[in-house]
């Protein structure tokens, strides 16, 4: 089996991002299959206008869409996002067949690529959610704490994010969960800085982690810290971005978490909303934050997108004849 090139999942954070989630219209499957191999060229075309703009595109495909688009196997851990209802907090599951995660150092590059993609989606898919994110000072979230501090790097990032050979048909791929959160900034800003630090589990100014004694069971970096059966910490790659519209009173964080197994991200979210099994505590950040969307996507390799499978029910291709055996010489020799 030939090695596959991953999409730009591990690309560094940028100053701007656009997140678009779309649903495929009835009968739009052929147009989407035709679009997928063209996405890389669209990204290169726009990016060539500003090579230092670091424009990248990652495309995700939802579980229901996968079965509508492709014949053959599907990624082993692909499934719809699971809605969660705790005693207090709710993580909704919302429609999403396609995700387009566009990143660049310039807003115009993101905008141009998003515009070209939506033009190709016309009549085949409907954009149901679109968020334009921005870098907030020194990579701070809307709540003014540094975000993504625990992201793995180097080989650890590859291991945490990219599917290995245990799913050989999709080695080099990934999974991504997205959630859009809206924040009650009046309630947040009414809290003392020391109380905010307990919610997050870090110092606001220095970004230093609080000691275990200073944290609460519901501190964000407590409930989202999970381990495997051997006690090894499990990591995901967060590419979150703040977004907002002050005139509308909208202040939010777009959560986007990549992982080799979406169950890792799922456990973190379940701890947040339902309760950490170690303490029963839910995430204190949810007292001022409301999730309004939730979707899960497979992120196939760039190689897969360049030459995707045919539609469901496509007859298997006949094996190519051996050029050295076109006259049946091998059979005669064997006889």
With beta carbons less than 8 A apart as the criterion, state whether 117 and 39 touch: yes
| CB neighbours of residue 214 within 10 Å | 13
Alpha-carbon distance of 94 to 292, in angstroms, equals 8
Among 154, 142, 163, 148, residue whose Cα is nearest residue 243: 142
Among 213, 83, 202, residue whose Cα is nearest residue 144: 202
With beta carbons less than 8 A apart as the criterion, state whether 36 and 204 touch: no
Instruction: For residue 291, give the 3-state DSSP assignment.
Output: strand
In sequence order, which residues have a C-beta less than 8 Å from that of residue 247 and are 6 or more positions away?
none
- Tokens 């006949």: give the residue: 318
| CB neighbours of residue 50 within 10 Å | 15
Instruction: For residue 61, give the 3-state DSSP assignment.
Output: strand
> What are the structure tokens assigned to 210, written together?
């609080």
Alpha-carbon distance of 222 to 227, in angstroms, equals 12
> What are the structure tokens assigned to 75, written together?
């990624």
Instruction: For residue 328, give the 3-state DSSP assignment.
Output: coil
Kindly report the backbone phi and psi dihedral angles of residue 63, in degrees, each rounded to the nearest multiple of 5, phi listed first: -65, -50
Alpha-carbon distance of 252 to 143, in angstroms, equals 9
- Where in the sequence numbering do the catalytic residues fall? 147
Alpha-carbon distance of 127 to 28, in angstroms, equals 13
Write the CA distances from 131 to 22, 43, 91, 335, integer angstroms: 12, 19, 18, 68
């Amino acid at each position: 089996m030939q090695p596959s090139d991953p999409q730009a999942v591990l690309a560094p954070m940028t100053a701007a991002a656009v997140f678009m989630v779309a649903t495929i219209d009835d009968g739009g499957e052929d147009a989407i299959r035709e679009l997928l191999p063209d996405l890389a060229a669209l990204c290169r075309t726009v990016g060539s206008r500003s090579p230092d703009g670091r424009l990248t595109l990652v495309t995700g495909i939802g579980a229901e869409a996968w079965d509508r688009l492709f014949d053959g196997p599907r990624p082993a851990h692909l499934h719809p996002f699971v809605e969660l209802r705790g005693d207090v907090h709710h993580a909704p599951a919302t429609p999403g067949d396609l995700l387009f995660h566009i990143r660049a150092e310039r807003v115009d590059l993101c905008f141009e690529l998003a515009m070209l993609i939506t033009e190709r989606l016309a009549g085949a898919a409907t954009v149901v959610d679109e968020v334009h994110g921005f870098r907030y000072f020194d990579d701070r979230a809307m709540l003014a704490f540094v975000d993504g501090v625990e992201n793995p790097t180097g080989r650890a990032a590859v291991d945490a994010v990219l599917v290995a050979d245990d799913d050989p048909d999709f080695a080099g791929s990934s999974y991504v969960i997205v959630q859009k959160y809206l924040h009650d900034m009046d309630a947040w800003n009414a809290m003392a800085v020391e109380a905010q630090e307990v919610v997050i589990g870090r110092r606001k100014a220095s970004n230093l982690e609080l000691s275990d004694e200073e944290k609460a069971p519901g501190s964000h970096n407590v409930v989202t810290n999970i381990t495997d059966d051997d006690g090894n910490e499990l990591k995901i790659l967060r590419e979150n971005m703040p977004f907002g519209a002050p005139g509308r009173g909208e202040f939010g964080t777009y959560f986007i978490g990549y992982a080799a197994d979406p169950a890792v991200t799922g456990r973190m979210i379940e701890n947040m909303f339902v309760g950490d099994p170690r303490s029963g505590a839910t995430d204190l950040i949810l007292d001022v934050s409301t999730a309004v969307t939730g979707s899960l996507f497979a992120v196939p390799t760039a190689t897969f997108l360049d030459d995707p499978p045919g539609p469901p029910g496509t007859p298997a291709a006949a094996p190519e004849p051996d050029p050295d055996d076109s006259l049946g010489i091998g059979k005669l020799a064997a006889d």
